[in-house]
Structure formats: structure tokens, C-alpha cells
Structure 1
Amino acid sequence: MSDLSQIVKAYDVRGTVPDQWDERAAEALGVAFTQVLNDTGEPGETVLIAHDMRATGPGLVAAFATGVRAAGRAVIELGLASTDMLYYASGALGLPGAMFTASHNPAQYNGIKMCRSGARPIGQDSGLADIRDRAQALLNGGARPAGPSRAPLTDRRDLLPDYAAHLRKLVDLSTIRPLKVVVDAGNGMGGYTVPSVLGDAALPALPLEIVPLYFELDGTFPHHEANPLDPKNLVDLQRAVVAHSADLGLAFDGDADRCFVIDERGEPVSPSAITALVAARELAKHPGSTVIHNLITSRAVPEIIREHGGEPVVARVGHSFIKAEMARTNAIFGGEHSAHYYFRDFWFADTGMLAAMHTLAALGEQSQPLSILASGYERYVASGEINSTVADQAARVAEVRVAYPEAEADELDGLTLRFPDGAWFNLRASNTEPLLRLNVEGPTEERMTSLRDEVLERVRR
């Protein structure tokens, strides 16, 4: 029997199939999701369901849809989709939805990201814990729904053209200079969405030459994991950018809601720099607006937001927290260190494709190479995220805290320590894996490296 406490995380469902969860659990989650929607007054009588390219997706979707119908709502199946396509559908149609994906996790994983109408997130504090408990009760032998008086129908719709057209309205790429772009889809959903958004013959032609890498949809990830946060998964893209003399490279994760950027030299552009770049563009359109960033982004991000007349607001790591803070503040944009980018014009939801389009526009609207353009947004030296497996996470974090009495402490999300010279680090437990995650930033390479090594020694000893 599935123990849903092991797979229902802070803001989604994530686990291996079939040993941690299976179609029976998916059906129970479909029932529970619909019951929570019904009990909390969610309007409408229909639920959207989509899935990525993983082989287990169609079976889990079918089971989940059975649960939704049993609890009284009809289903619209979108079929293959990126996560931001599901958010687009939820926003454009005003319906709740469930996206079956395990994002960047290996092939044996699958999961669900659920939202209310308008792409409003569902996390532990906004219904996910209730869904978990109701589904677990069903799996433990609880009474199942008696069923509606009439059998709700399942409809099927293809919203890829509408999604592509919507994004093209938000960022005009028609007048930029010609660019050669290498795109690594990692055998994930970017291989499905990029051709439609950037090269659809039904839309106006763009001055882009796309060099595709691994566009074939394959949930076994035969070339590399679809996790651009790990540097080893960027190597093929970096080589291809240089080999093709491309202007930039784009790497998407498995469900294509995140996008990483490589400059013309084959060097990564930090997500903090992209956050600052996009924030400046959005603030030019909406002066004085609020921009959200999580506490792990570079301290250059709030500096640049203020310099462009915006109001920076810091939030916890994780899409449900960022989206909630964006809705609360009516923020125009939000960015995370993990390359999740959120837009008010996209129902406060995250979309890697729209961030990629902003980057293409910023590059193509001027003549300098990306390395020069991005350098204006890179002010400090960062370690990137470093993971450590630790038996007692809380105890190890407490030990690190007392080792630096001179630092200013912040416990918004894990432990953040800030030093008088401007260096800082954040140490936090993963929401989805048994890890401690460390991010370090310093005014110089030497300071960052020294602080990073000190903290890692304490974490891993």
C-alpha cells in the first residue's frame, strides 16, 4: 500500500512508480483532489489533466481521471504538455488542473503538480495536505464516493497552438537581429513546445535559427538527465554552442518549466542574472512594480530591481511560496536561483519558455554578445547549489549556526548567514529529497571559495 506521506512534498507529489505509488494511488488522489475542490467552492465542473513524456504518464492520468469523475467532475485531457502549458490552460479556461510530471527527476519517477483555476498553486498549506489525508484514507479502505447522478464526460483538446500564440503576444521577437540558438530539450517537453513557439509556420516567422539537441520525447532520458541545474547535464549544450558559433544556448528541464542559458563562449549565465535582466525589462513596462526573488538569488538582484525603480520582495524557495507572494503583492515578475521564472502576465505562474523569449529579445535588441550583456547583471561570485546527504539535517544546521557568531542570521527558509564583508550563505533542507542544499556568495572568488569549503567541511564531517 502506498504511504502518501513519502511522496506528497511541500508543493507537489513526487515518487517512484510503481514501488512508491501506482495507478490505484493516482485514482485516490484524483478523488481527493476533486473533493477538496468541491468542498472549497472551486467553480466549474471540469478538471484539466496533462502529462509529460514519461512512459507511466498515460496510465496514471487515466486512473486519476477515473477518480475525478467518480467525485463528480468532468475531465479535459490535454495529452502531452509542458507544465507551463497546463498553467496556460488553467488560466485561459479558468479551470483547475493536474500536471503529471516528475520534472527533472530520473526516469523511474513521476508526480503531480496541482492547481486551482487561474493556475493558483496548491501546496501543503493550501490544500495539498488535505488531499494527501483524504487519498490515504481511501487507500486504507475508506468509503469511496457513491458517484454522481450522471457520468461526467472526458473531452480531449490540443492547446499547443493557443499556448504558442499567447506567448508570442507577450514578447515581440519579430524585429530582433538574427540569432542562432542551440536548444537542448533533454528529451523532455521542450522538444514538443519549442518548435511551436519559436518556429510554427502558422505564426509570423522569427529571425531565429534553431539548432535542436535531443528533441525526441523519451522519458528514459538516453543522453543525459533533464536537469540543467546539474552542470554535467549542460556539457553537450556548451560544446554545441561553441561548435555552431551560436549566439546562445537554452536548456530546458523535463517538463520545460525551467530554462537555463549558455552564452556564446559556452559559459552558463546564472539564473540570478537572468532574473535581474528580465526584471529590468518588466519594470521598463511597469515602472514601480514589485518583483519577487527567493532568498538564494544573488544580492545583485534586489540591487538591480531598486536601480530600475522596482520594489524587491524576498520569498521562500518553491513555486507555491513564490506564486502566493506574487499574488499577495501583485508582483510583475518573480525569479528563483533554480531558473523558475514567474510572470503576472502568465497568471503568476512559472514558464521557462517566456523567460527564454525575454532573453532572446534582450540579446537581439542590441549588438553586444550575451557574455557582455549578462556581465552587467553579474556582480558577485556564487557557488551554485551544492547538495550533501546528511543523516540529521536539523542538528547539522544548528552546528553550522553556532560556528559563525559574527554573522547576521535569517531563518525565513533554512539558515541564511550574512557577513559584514557582503558574503553570505544559505543552508536548507530539500523539500523533495533527503539532502542539505548549500548556496554561497562572496564579493570575490577567494572569499566565496573559502567560505564554501568551510561550511561544506562542517556539513559533511
Structure 2
Amino acid sequence: MFPKPKPQLVPNTYAYESEPMVKATGFREYDARWLFGKEINLMGVQALGMGLGTLLGEMGVKREIVTGHDFRGYSASIKMALVSGLMAAGVRVHDIGLAVTPMAYFGQFALDVPAVAMVTASHNENGWTGVKMGANRPLTFGPDEMSRLKEIVLGANFDLIGGGSYVFENGFAERYMADLTNRPKIKRKLKVVVACGNGTAGAFSPQVIEALGCEVVPLDVELDHTFPRYNPNPEDLEMLHAIRDKVLETGADIGLGFDGDGDRCGVIDNTGDEIFADKVGVMLARDLSKLVPNATFVVDVKSTGLFASDPVLKANGVHADYWKTGHSYIKRRVNQLGAVAGFEKSGHYFFNAPVGRGYDDGLVSAIAIIDMLDRNPDKSMADLKNALPKTWGSPTMSPHCADEVKYEVVKRVVARFEKLKAEGGSVGGQPITDLVTVNGVRIVTADGTWGLVRASSNKPELVVVVESPVSEARLHEMFKGVDAVLRENPEVGAYNQTI
């Protein structure tokens, strides 16, 4: 019998090499993330594979799965430990090798396989590992599946029927890229900076963008799992500023930045300004709603209020559905509502047919942006941005908060704002007019300025975002007001970045 995983073992000991270690907090709301070596070991990963195979059986899903791994020094070994556990649970494994996450999602369709398990820590810093999983394409696991997987793994309640098998899908990357590029080239001449932060997307993104007919200016596309310049995260200003500098240096029409596992895309316009992903989503919604009248778009609660207030979207009959942050939540909501697309401020975009298959793919997002420019040949990316009503918004800001307490802290923060609203109080000098509590709390004041606090789903952090349609000063006043409430909780630490 396979032993029960332990929450902690000491490295370089007999126990560490002979027993599974799995820290419970690694099972997140919709995927799994651990610090490799400190919170999970290889036998723990093997236990995860056994648990996932067992869960597929419980769900009545055929025990067959696509797997791949991102470009980190330890990801291949983690994947093979996962594969050994899956096979012990009777799973037929299709290994697509080194891959971006959406390549694994594509594999579910191309190989006609029901399940997926992609080994990636996404944009997390080196030292992290994780797995993104699903068993009902194009959807990925949510809280129910993740909770049950956690129970199975930590309780070692495995159904080890054996009989699993393994096949390596040679040449699958070429198949994925061909699927993206088997289409007419764009008519417009575009110079595009393609930045990958030395992450996995560097092996694929420049080739795909070039195949569309664009002139590509590569930036940090050489794969290097030490991430020597910056973490490949298009929400981080360090990456965005590097892209800005290259756009201005080369006179490019646009800069596109891909995250570590290639399922997100950040944007810099031709003047060097970073356009936060929710604003790009509004631009895409304007473009697509001309083609699909009365369209529904799902957006996460971190996103700009323009989806509901923009006059062009209103004139096109757009319905904006604000929903929980998280790629699994938005993906499911897009699928449930049959929405044209879903947009997250983090840069996860989900396009239904004819643009995409419902899952998040940074290259599909990049192609949609390039097609938008191609359909507007007399307008630059800056022109399209400047046509939006002016708002002042923050990047995503993340103060440290331990995984064990972050949800309790958010619960206290929500209660504090609910009490403040009930008493007729104000935030940043303006009365509270609305609280949206579908995911943390979004505090809306009388002048339309708003702030959001929620728990990060994949790191020991909180998430804070603020926006004002009035002025930059109001943006800072809202942030100061929200932060003051956070500071009532001693568990909340320093921010990774602030305004």
C-alpha cells in the first residue's frame, strides 16, 4: 500500500527519499502549486498522479490524459513522477513533451483525449511547480474537483488498478502551431515585438506571429529557466517596461508579452504605453461586438468598469457579466453562457468559436489582437486605446499573506466594508454605493471609483486592484482607503508592487 503523504519532511534524509510529502495548501481553488522540495517531493508528485487517476475513475471519465511540462530545470522530472502515478492508476498517458499550457488543452481536442494534466508553475518564480488539470474539455478543475483530489491524495485513498500505458506524441508542437497558422495572412504590414521573458513561449510564439505575416522583433525568446532578466509575467511592470523600451527602439506597431506557460498575453502600444489586459479586452469586445451584435462577454471582478459603461459596447447591445477571478471560473462561465469571449485582468482570455475553442491561449489572444488591427488599417493600437473613455487604473498589486490565513483575512475585510456601508461610511472620501462580493469584495463609490480585495488563488498573497473614471488623484485616494482597512490585519505584509 502506498503510504499517506506527510506535510513536511527534511530534505537529504532517508524519509525524504522514501516517503511522499505533499503540503495541503498546495491544492488551490482551481489548480495546484507547491514550492518543489519544500512543500512537495517526487514521491508526493507520484501520489498526486495516483490521486488524479483515481479521481478520473470516480468521475466516470475514461482514464486517458494529455500531459506536458514547462521549461524549468525540474519540470521534466516532476512530469515523469506524475506519469508514473497516473499509470499506476490505470491511465493511458499521452506525453506532448516541452509545451505551453494551451498546447496541452489543444491536445485534448487533437488527440480526442478527455483529460489534461499540465506540469507548470505558470508565472510563479523559480522554485515553484504545479499542475493544471481538467477532465471535461475545454474546462479545467474547480473547487469541487480540487477538494476531492486533495482528500484522495492526503488520505492515500488510491484506486491502483494498474494497466496504464505511455505514448510520446512526437512532433506535437508543430501540429499545434500549424493549427494556429493554417489561415490567410494578414493584409496589414505590422512590426511586432514578441517578448517571452525566457519562458516556454519563446519556443513557439515568434514562429506563429511571423507565420501570420508580421515582422517579428524577438525579445528574450531564448529559453533560460533561470529567468535572467525578469519573471515572465505580463502583469509585472518590469516585463512591460522592457517591452516598451524595445517597441520605442524599433518603432514597432505593438509589443506582445507572453507569460511563463504561454496562456496569457500582455500588450504595449506603438507609443510605448502598457495597456492593462482588461482595457485590451474592452477594445476586443468593441471589435467583436461589431461582428456579433448583442454579444455577451464575461469579465472578472478585477476588471475595468468600462465593460458595463462604455457607450460603444452599450450601442452594440453588449451584456457584460462580471464573475469570479480565476481561469477555471471564467472559462466555465463563458462555456455556461455561450459567451463570445471572457476576459481577465491578468491576461487570461477565453474565446469561443469561431476565434477559439473556449480555453485560454496567449497566442490565440495575440492573433485576435493582430486581427483587430488588421480590421482597422487606419488606426494604431494607441488610437484604439485612446478611443476608450478615460480611466485611471492600477496594475494588480499583491501584499503577502500566508496561505493558511489569507481567506480568513479576506472574510474579515469583507465584513469590515459591509459594516462601513451599513453605517453610511465612505472610502477615500466618497460614500460606498455598492459592494460586489462574488469573489472577495469590490467596493464601488459614488463617483464610480472602485477597489477590489481578494485572496490569490495560487500564491500566498492577497490581490488588490483600484480604478477611477474621475482622476489619478481619486485612484490614489481609493488605494489609500482600501490599504488602510488591510492594515488593520497584522497578517498582511508588503506589496510586490504599488502605485
Fold conserved between structures, TM > 0.5: yes
Give 3-state SS (helix, strand or coil) of 1:284's partner.
helix
Q: Which residues of 2 match residues 271-420 of structure 1 at below 5 A?
A: 271-304=277-310, 305-345=313-353, 346-365=356-375, 366-390=377-401, 392-404=409-421, 405=424, 406-407=431-432, 408-420=434-446
Give 3-state SS (helix, strand or coil) of 2:137's partner.
helix
**More divergent stretch after superposition (155-164 vs 435-444):** 155-164
Which residue identity lines up with residue 56 of structure 1 in the other structure?
Y
1:32 aligns with 2:59: no
Aligned residue for 1:263? 269
Aligned residue for 2:176? 163
Which residue identity lines up with residue 371 of structure 1 in the other structure?
A
Contact between 1:273 and 1:378, CA under 8 Å: does it hold in 2? Answer: no
Contact between 1:400 and 1:459, CA under 8 Å: does it hold in 2? Answer: no
Which residue identity lines up with residue 72 of structure 2 in the other structure?
R
Alpha-carbon offset, residue 87 of structure 1: 1.0
Note the alpha carbon deviations across 1:194-238, whole angstroms, 9 max, x for none: 133223xxxxx5431111111111221111111221212222211
1:242 aligns with 2:248: yes
CA distance 1:4–1:173, shift in 2 (3 Å): farther
Scaled by the length of structure 2, the TM-score of the pair is: 0.85
Which residue identity lines up with residue 335 of structure 1 in the other structure?
F
Alpha-carbon offset, residue 396 of structure 1: 4.0
Aligned residue for 2:90? 72
Give 3-state SS (helix, strand or coil) of 1:234's partner.
helix
Distance 1:212 1:93 in 2: 31
Note the alpha carbon deviations across 1:346-367, whole angstroms, 9 max, x for none: 3321111111111122223312
Aligned residue for 2:116? 97
CA distance 1:176–1:403, shift in 2 (3 Å): farther
Give 3-state SS (helix, strand or coil) of 1:111's partner.
strand
Distance 1:99 1:231 in 2: 27
Q: Which residues of 2 match residues 146-295 of structure 1 at below 5 A?
A: 146-148=161-163, 152-169=165-182, 174-199=185-210, 205-295=211-301
Alpha-carbon offset, residue 403 of structure 1: 4.0
Contact between 1:263 and 1:269, CA under 8 Å: does it hold in 2? Answer: yes
Distance 2:52 2:435 in 1: 38
Note the alpha carbon deviations across 1:427-457, whole angstroms, 9 max, x for none: 1122222322221111222222222222223
Larger RCO, structure (CA 8 Å, separation 6 or more) = 1
Distance 1:146 1:232 in 2: 49
1:18 aligns with 2:45: no
Which residue identity lines up with residue 455 of structure 1 in the other structure?
V
Give 3-state SS (helix, strand or coil) of 2:34's partner.
strand
Alpha-carbon offset, residue 92 of structure 1: 2.8
Contact between 1:100 and 1:111, CA under 8 Å: does it hold in 2? Answer: yes
Distance 2:180 2:308 in 1: 26
Which residue identity lines up with residue 412 of structure 2 in the other structure?
A
Task: Say which of 71, 81, 84 aligns to 1:53.
Answer: 71
1:63 aligns with 2:89: no
Distance 1:452 1:120 in 2: 34
**More divergent stretch after superposition (155-164 vs 252-261):** 155-164
Distance 2:317 2:178 in 1: 31
Alpha-carbon offset, residue 306 of structure 1: 3.4
Cα root mean square deviation, aligned: 2.0
Note the alpha carbon deviations across 1:136-162, whole angstroms, 9 max, x for none: 122xxx6662523xx523333332222
Contact between 1:294 and 1:337, CA under 8 Å: does it hold in 2? Answer: yes
1:434 aligns with 2:460: yes
Contact between 1:76 and 1:157, CA under 8 Å: does it hold in 2? Answer: no
CA distance 1:378–1:274, shift in 2 (3 Å): farther
Distance 1:167 1:286 in 2: 22
The unaligned stretches of length 5 or more in structure 1 are 200-204
Count of residue pairs the alignment pairs up: 447
Contact between 2:54 and 2:159, CA under 8 Å: does it hold in 1? Answer: no
Alpha-carbon offset, residue 115 of structure 1: 1.2
Note the alpha carbon deviations across 1:37-72, whole angstroms, 9 max, x for none: 1221113x4211101101111111111111111111
Give 3-state SS (helix, strand or coil) of 1:79's partner.
strand
Give 3-state SS (helix, strand or coil) of 1:280's partner.
helix
Note the alpha carbon deviations across 1:63-93, whole angstroms, 9 max, x for none: 1111111111211100011111111111333
The unaligned stretches of length 5 or more in structure 2 are 1-5, 7-20, 425-430, 489-499
Distance 2:247 2:324 in 1: 34
CA distance 1:157–1:265, shift in 2 (3 Å): same
Distance 1:457 1:240 in 2: 38
Contact between 2:95 and 2:166, CA under 8 Å: does it hold in 1? Answer: no
Identity %: 28
Contact between 2:22 and 2:41, CA under 8 Å: does it hold in 1? Answer: no
CA distance 1:296–1:213, shift in 2 (3 Å): same
Aligned residue for 2:450? 424
Alpha-carbon offset, residue 6 of structure 1: 1.6
Alpha-carbon offset, residue 184 of structure 1: 1.1
Alpha-carbon offset, residue 309 of structure 1: 2.5
CA distance 1:84–1:414, shift in 2 (3 Å): same
CA distance 1:268–1:173, shift in 2 (3 Å): farther
Aligned residue for 1:202? none
Which residue identity lines up with residue 132 of structure 1 in the other structure?
K
Contact between 1:418 and 1:424, CA under 8 Å: does it hold in 2? Answer: yes
